[in-house]
Amino acid sequence: MTIKSAIVTGAGTGVGKAIAKALLGAGFHVAMLGRRVEVIEKAAKEVDPSGTKTLAISADISDPAAVVAAFDKVKAAWGRLDVLVNNAGVGAPAIPMEELTPEHWHAVVASNLTGAFFCTQQAFRIMKAQSPQGGRIINNGSVSATTPRPNSAPYTATKHAITGLTKSTALDGRPFNIACGQVDIGNASTEMTQYIEAGALQADGSKKAEATMEARHVGEAVAYMANLPLSANVLTMTVMATQMPFVGRG
């Protein structure tokens, strides 16, 4: 039986773990990547108690050598790569732009953009060479890929850049049956978004509690995209809490 395999970056917590769980439910074997070995191993045991359909791989995706090693492990274990989900990402402190340090900026760019690029490169390497040729790449763009929050320049800039990476990947992958799409997520309830439920800064300077949705709905959306035949592609999808301020932002 041919194994359908997927890699999910940032899979140890929150949305990434929800995506990994949904892909397992959709029939994929899933390699779960994350920086903290104890977190990624705990998450893998949680979503796959038998340990037969997951790989827990500790890797810093901003390190190209670590990315190559991680993708080689997946290829060695399952023989091919059908889906890559570039989910890993971090933010910077929500402070005025002029107070951000170079370290803040570089950390966000390295994780959100450079890491996604390195992973996409390795996915191309495997997907172009395997038989049948091709595969699918799904990028986590965030609603910040179109509309920023106040004091979010590094995060917003990288998410706008992810949209460019998505379109370039979709174009460059076309001759090799590699599809690429993007899911823009708004207010999924995770540890990272607890501040939104308590009160998030709005464009008018006020603070307001915002509605959230369960992270599993994001996982279900990604699983739908992942299971499409390669003759079809969702280029962009927005999955958001219905009552959140986004359309018009306010």
CB atoms within 10 A of CB 18: 24
Nearest to 32 by CA among 80, 83, 108, 79: 83
CB atoms within 10 A of CB 207: 11
Token pair 């049956």 in the structure block, residue: 177
DSSP state of 110: I
CB atoms within 10 A of CB 204: 9
Q: Is 191 exposed, middle or buried (0-12, 13-18, 19+ CB in 10 A)?
A: exposed
Q: What is the crossing angle of helices 37-47 and 14-25, to 10°?
A: 40
What does the alpha-carbon distance between residue 3 and residue 232 come to, in Å, rounded to a whole number? 21
Per the annotation, the verdict on 155 as an active-site residue is yes
Residue from 28, 78, 118, 155 carrying the catalytic annotation: 155
What does the alpha-carbon distance between residue 147 and residue 244 come to, in Å, rounded to a whole number? 13
What does the alpha-carbon distance between residue 208 and residue 49 come to, in Å, rounded to a whole number? 39
Question: What b/e string do you get for 61-96 counting C-beta neighbours within 10 Å, with b at 16 or more?
Answer: bbbbebbeebbebbbeebebbbbbbbbbbbbbeeee
What does the alpha-carbon distance between residue 140 and residue 144 come to, in Å, rounded to a whole number? 10
Instruction: Report the catalytic residues.
Output: 155
